[in-house]
Amino acid sequence: MQGNDKFGEFLKDVKTLAIVCNQWGDTGKGKFVDYFSEWADIIARGTGGANAGHTILINGKKFVFHIVPSGIIHDFEGKINIIGKGVAFEPRVVKEELDVLDKAGLSYKNLKIAYNAKLVLPQHMLMDRIKEADSGSKKIGTTGRGIGPVYADYVSRVGLSVNDMLNKEVLVKKIKKNLAEKIKLLRCYDKEAIKEIMHHPHLSDGRFYSEEEFFDVNAIAEEYYEYGKFFKDMICDTDKLLKDVLGRKRILLEGAQGILLSVEHGSYPYVTSSDPSIQGLTKGVGLDEKDVDLVLGIVKAFYMTRVGKGPFPTELGGERSEEWCNTHTRADEEKEYGGGTVNSSDEFEQGVGIRFSGSEYGATTGRPRRTGWLDLPLLRNAIKVNGSDVILTKLDVLDGCKIIKVCMEYEYDGDDYFIGEKVFRKGDRINVGVPDVNILKHCRPIYKEFPGWESDITKAKCYDELPENLKKIIDFVWESVGVNAKMISVGPEREQTIFKE
Ligand code: IMP
């Protein structure tokens, strides 16, 4: 691929490249991380944890990985993969992922783990799940991987880091300190519910459970100390490693989730607890935004998806879809709506049809992803942070869709609402999305309709081979937002990638 002129030209002046997502995640970052891993010497991840999921093809078989960077399959070529300090590190999951690699005969000898990555403990998963179970209709719809509690503990100054697994006495002391307040709080909760969660396979089937104190500190410390021994040779100062080679080696920064799920820039509180924007990604690997030569923000087009709860103005089927996706499985959906297509006349069923066509089911939870039309106000907002160079993905999912709708702006239909010095009033037109729940839930999308394209685009090799109707939408949309669509993905394989210029 690097012999390919376009590819060489594209990355001519680039030493550090970042791939982030401009939506709610699940936009096909994995394909592009894999694509650019061939170019990179080092692949580094800096945010999120086992809440993320990327599918990796190993010897023709699909595996879903959560924490190990997608670039790991290039380890045998001497490429370094880094799990940075901003990552929520769950040792059980990472060990399982490495076991999979072992079984497939693949190496991970160049994997490096930040000594100061945030350590996920059983109590984090318990707190996450209890809080969700207790929140009724106010649920966030988390993945249950302890992400919120682990970052909360870090900023509350009671968190543990990967390094603590190497020092047994400190490990025991810190686990006790971390648990002290939680145990007091847990005494107010339903004991049977706690017991049940503690016996979940993600919490090692009850191995860490104690009837009296809920947690068996010794069992946790023993297990984590053993993990420490296992990971010891991989743990190091990854910030320094990257700084030392910055500008000399080719570095690929692999984003997780998407900017609309950012705790800093997303639709708070319906977000994850790290910052998947370029700002959070660079911070999570110990670099600065200005160290990055090219940021490519992925945009799924011309539909988008969201997992879990929270506002989604262009959602097909609105609240019905949100409710359905958060309470049903793929199997339920196939049974009930097996005939849904991208052209179904009922909006909800059209959403299901797009889900079928794009295989939009969570890699971590298996949940159906809520689907809706591409939202330009939210994209205009995203590129203020992530920059205007984008990759369009999954365009082939809408092959054969007769009418494509694009949300150009919103009409606000809520009560007067202040955001800082600005007041939003009923009837206001909103061109740049404001990711505030109280605004978003009152935004009525204003669509422009475009005729779709009939043909199969998965075999297109260059921009000129794409159908005219599709190119018209791309041109219109990107002029209206001011983004530069650098690459276009027309299928899951590497070869199904088109450079626009
Ligand atoms: P958490 O990250 O598990 O705390 O979940 C918080 C919110 O982020 C929920 O709505 C999740 O569905 C969503 N979320 C977390 N990770 C992903 C992801 O990789 N893709 C899509 N949504 C995600």
Beta carbons within 8 Å of 416's beta carbon, 6+ residues apart = 423, 424, 425, 426
Lowest mean pLDDT among 254-258, 290-294, 444-448, 484-488: 484-488
Bridge-based pairing of strands 111-114 and 61-65 is unpaired
Q: Which atom of ligand 1 is closest in space to residue 307's alpha carbon? A: 12
| pLDDT band with cut points at 50, 70 and 90 for residue 209 | very high
Ligand 1: atom nearest CA of 365 is 12
Q: Is the CB of 141 under 6 A from ligand 1?
A: yes
- Mean pLDDT score of the chain: 94
Q: How far is CA 59 from CA 15, 52, 75, 309, 383, in A?
A: 30, 22, 15, 36, 37
CA distances to 159, 253, 270, 326 from 308, rounded to whole Å, are: 26, 26, 8, 6
Residue closest by Cα to atom 2 of ligand 1: 272
Q: Hey, whose CA ends up nearest to atom 11 of ligand 1? A: 142
Closest CA to 238 of 83, 98, 110: 83
Give the pLDDT confidence score for residue 136 in this predicted structure.
Answer: 79
**pLDDT above 60 for 2:** no
Is 82 in a helix, a strand, or coil? strand
Q: Please work out whether the CB of residue 266 comes within 6 Å of at least one atom of ligand 1.
A: no
Q: Between vectors from CA 197 to CA 191 and to CA 201, what angle results, nearest 5°?
A: 150
Ligand 1 atom index nearest CA of 310:
10
Give the residue-averaged pLDDT of 150-159. Answer: 97
Q: pLDDT tier at 3 (50, 70, 90 boundaries)?
A: very low
Ligand 1 and 148: CB distance under 6 A: yes
Catalytic residues: 26, 54
For residue 139, what are its two tokens? 């649920």
Q: Give the burial class of 184: count Cβ atoms within 10 A of its Cβ; 0-12 exposed, 13-18 middle, 19 or more buried.
A: exposed
Q: What is the pLDDT of residues 336-352, one digit of tens each?
A: 988 789 999 999 999 99
- pLDDT tens by residue, 89-117: 999 999 999 999 999 999 999 999 999 99
Q: Which of 261, 267, 306 to mutate to test the pocket of ligand 1 (most atoms within 8 A of CB)?
A: 261
Over 50: is that where the pLDDT of 445 sits? Answer: yes
- Hey, is 270 helix, strand or coil? coil
Instruction: Tell me the three state secondary structure of residue 463.
Output: helix
What pLDDT, on a 0 to 100 scale, did the predictor assign at position 362? 83
3-class DSSP state of 163? helix
Query: What is the spatial distance between Cα 145 and Cα 148, in angstroms, rounded to a whole number?
Result: 8
pTM, to two decimals: 0.95
Q: How far is the CA of 309 from the centre of ligand 1 (A)?
A: 9
pLDDT in tens, 348-399: 999 999 999 999 998 777 789 999 999 999 999 999 999 999 999 999 999 9
Does the beta carbon of 257 lie inside 6 Å of ligand 1? yes
